[in-house]
Amino acid sequence: MVLSGCRDTPSHTGPATAPLQPATSAVAGLTATVTKVVDGDTIDVRLGTTRERVRLIGIDTPESVKPDSPVECFGPEASSQLTSLIPVGTEVELVRDAEIRDPYDRLLAYVFRRSDGLFVNLSMAGDGFAGALSIAPNTTFADDFRAAVAQARSHRLGLWGACPNPDSLFG
């Protein structure tokens, strides 16, 4: 399966909670339907008749379901936030970067809510539910994620105000 590229997708310039408005009427990606929110940065989707696990590119959230690992500060809240943004049944556009899959065979994607174009990955970062995670060569929106996290951190939003040592969650 090949996902379309995101080179034509504009970068985000507004607040994280505002929808990213693509230049065309639809984000250039692959339409999918959310079937499960696994945690704050991983979802399961249906692509036609295929089911896929998708890892949101550019962000990392505290662990909430990792086997043999404790639930981390704000992990359940991050999962809950992602569920509120894209509940089961939500149509999304999956937009890839340079690599299609990670070492765990999950699809790597920027996720946009089809109903309004919300850039889900960026919303999670900007609202304080995720840290920035830049792994080359998948870095198209890395600057946007870093800026969103810096703003959330400076305003002590989400995990940046709730967790005693938030930097330890991402490192």
Q: Which of 52, 55, 96, 113 is catalytic?
A: 55
Q: How many helices (H) and strands (E) would you count in the chain?
A: 4, 7
Catalytic residue among 63, 72, 77, 93: 63
Residue 146 annotated in active site: no
Q: Is 93 a catalytic residue?
A: no
**Going by C-beta distance under 8 Å and a sequence separation of 6 or more, which residues neighbour residue 167?**
none
Look up residue 89 and give its amino acid.
G
- Is 106 a known active-site residue? yes
* Contact call for residues 131 and 98 (beta carbons, < 8 A): no
* Residue 58 Rama label (left phi>0; alpha psi -120 to 50; beta): left
Among 52, 77, 96, 106, which one carries the catalytic annotation? 106
Give me the active site residues, please: 55, 63, 106
